[in-house]
Amino acid sequence: MAELDDDALLEALGVDVAPIKPGGRTAREERIIAGFEDILRFFEAHKRAPQHGEDRDIFERLYAVRLDQLRKLPEARTLLADMDKPGLLTQAPAALANVDELGEDALLAELGFTGDPSDQSDITVLRHVRPHVERQAAEEIADRTTCSDFDRYQPLFQQVEQDLKDGTRKALRFGRDASIEAGNYFIVGGQLAYVAEVGAAFKAPNGESDARLRVVYANGTESNLLRRSLQRALYKDESGRRLTDPVIGPLFGDQAEPDDIETGTIYVLRSLSSHPFVAEHRALIHKIGVTGGKVEARIAGAENDATYLLAGVEVVAEYKLHNLSRTRMEKLFHRLFSEVQLDLTIEDRFGKPVKPREWFVVPLQVIDEAVERIRDGSITEMAYDPKSARLVSGYHGG
């Protein structure tokens, strides 16, 4: 095989070796244009400019920040004049925001984006603007329709966003694990996406296996793209992320951590409160706690403490464990039984409303099984299904 010169080799690899024409746009200009195209697409979809506000979608707020920044750049008005048919750059903003305090980095951080700290380019105002290849990847999944049963999925997205904030989930660069299964979460094309269903596998024209997906997005839309289309979009999107499953880290270990308890006790309490709801469901309402001391000392004076529903309690179960982390235990039980947390507000001794935590409407035998699974390490694979009142594997809600 004849040797290829540098230009031929680059061309064989799909790299454009054509000389740059005089007067071509700089990288800065290209990224400004790309950022404004995102704003124009938002305008076409919603018939208005993106706006600031805590009640707005995270990405609308991002576009609003970006539009404010573009309005401050004299070069942008000249560069984008032919594109700005709606006059977005010349309109007065509906609500002003301090873009130095409300930057794109801060908004993207809410969804787990941290940016590249080594990126010191002069495009600080548009650091997260996607280049053409990434926008093309996003467009592969842009054919979406309204999700008619979005009320089923909205609580899942809310929980996932909270998981990202408290570190229960991580947003990892897509690629090391390229699998896509039902129940997976991704960030693609700037949207949080949930794989609700995976259809029957079939042979793609290239001979590889593929399947039709039902993907629901946090903005209330859905699409039925192919699995390989989603994989391709995630590979090409520099901001594409896989969200990890909820994890709490090792429950037990050889090395002590700041809140580890050498010999601790998980205790389960039942309330003696005369509150009508508590009295009616007393056998199912339990408080789960962790202590490194005596349980009796922990619950002394319960009748004067709103944490214990201002009533006496009885200890119905105790479990001795070694090298356990109080913080991780609390996170575990809150994740496991979050759907059945007691929703009850009472007044404390001063008449102030209090909503006690760590009380759950769950049978004692389920708590007992959960502790056994903590001991053998299988708890991380389980979830609590309120409908059947039991721990199940691979449960995703709904």
CB atoms within 10 A of CB 153: 19
Beta strands in 272-312 (DSSP E): 285-291
The pLDDT tens digits of the residues spanning 70-121 come to: 888 888 888 898 899 989 988 766 544 444 444 445 444 433 344 443 433 3
Q: What is the mean pLDDT of residues 306-332?
A: 80
- What are residue 152's phi and psi, to 5 degrees? -70, -35
**Amino acid (1-letter code) at residue 13:** L
Distance CA 315, CA 174 (A): 47
pLDDT at 362 (0 to 100): 93
- pLDDT class for 361, splitting at 50, 70, 90? very high
pLDDT at 263: 57
Question: What sign results for the dihedral spanned by CA atoms 308, 311, 316, 321?
Answer: positive
Q: Which sequence spans correspond to the domains of the chain?
A: 6-129, 133-243, 260-393
Q: Mean pLDDT in the chain?
A: 75
| Average confidence (pLDDT) over 66-70 | 86
User: Which of 78-82, 87-91, 132-136, 181-185 is predicted least confidently?
Assistant: 132-136
Higher pLDDT, 316 or 7: 316
Asked if residues 264 and 235 have their Cβ atoms less than 8 Å apart, the reply is no
pLDDT tens, residue by residue, 365-396? 999 898 888 877 778 778 888 888 889 875 44
Beta strand segments in the chain, E: 145-146, 171-173, 185-188, 191-198, 202-203, 209-210, 213-217, 221-223, 241-243, 260-271, 285-291, 313-325, 346-347, 353-354, 359-361, 382-385, 390-393
Instruction: Give residue-wise pLDDT tens across range 222-256.
Output: 999 888 889 888 888 888 888 887 654 444 444 44
pTM, full prediction: 0.38
Q: Is the pLDDT of residue 184 over 80?
A: yes
**Pairwise CA distance, residues 154 & 219, whole Å:** 9
Question: How many residues can be counted in the chain?
Answer: 398
What pLDDT score was predicted for residue 124?
Answer: 35
Q: Is 100 helix (H, G, I), strand (E, B) or coil?
A: coil
How much is the pLDDT for 186? 94
